[in-house]
Amino acid sequence: MLELRSQRDPAWGRAQPNMASNPDSESGSRLQSARLVAAVAELESLGGITRSSMTRAQIHDRFVAEFHDQSRVTPATLADLATIEQELGTVLPQSYLSFMQEHGAVRTPSLLDLVVNTEAELWVISNFIAPADVVRDTRGYWSGGMSDDLIGFADDGMGDLFCFRRLPVGTARPDDSPVWFFDHEFCDHIRQLADSFDDWMFSYLKLKRQELSR
């Protein structure tokens, strides 16, 4: 199991994993990079592929290959994700667990230019929130007026959160869940962005790759 040691990133204000001295992390990073290179190559040859023809892993890999800024992140462990559920009293969807275990808290600043340049009706994803910060940030937002029915897992870099609805402990784990947007300037303004986490990620991939179809 990889050891996660946080170091403060002043540019982003988030705790980022330190992988510099872990040889297992180095090996894992090279393997992940190779997979993402393959995903990019596959993207170049795509033609008329639909959402339904793509596996979850393909959607996640291609999203990261297109938009992650290549900063080094450590995939989340099951223990990290279990802590979120225990501390916040919820059950997270399998889609999110799979993404975080494979890729971790990726950062996607390039989505800003893409959304602006295409005038898309999509909210910019700045970065996915590291598991330890999911607990801290969600509790902070609850105290600031956000409904405690929401769990934040990513943000837009301007104080707004992408969220899941909180499911009671003991609920059967859903394969996927709708994604909601919380606007911090209007605490009661909550909108559903997608029917599922995977659909939400695909909407950005489709925006970048016009050859992808619904």
pTM of the predicted protein model: 0.75
Looking at 3.40.1580.10, 3.40.50.11540, 3.40.50.970, 1.10.4160.10, the CATH number of the domain 19-208 comes to: 3.40.1580.10
Q: For position 4, what pLDDT does the model report?
A: 32
Q: For position 49, what pLDDT does the model report?
A: 60
| Amino acid, res. 200 | W
Give percent of the chain above pLDDT 90. 50
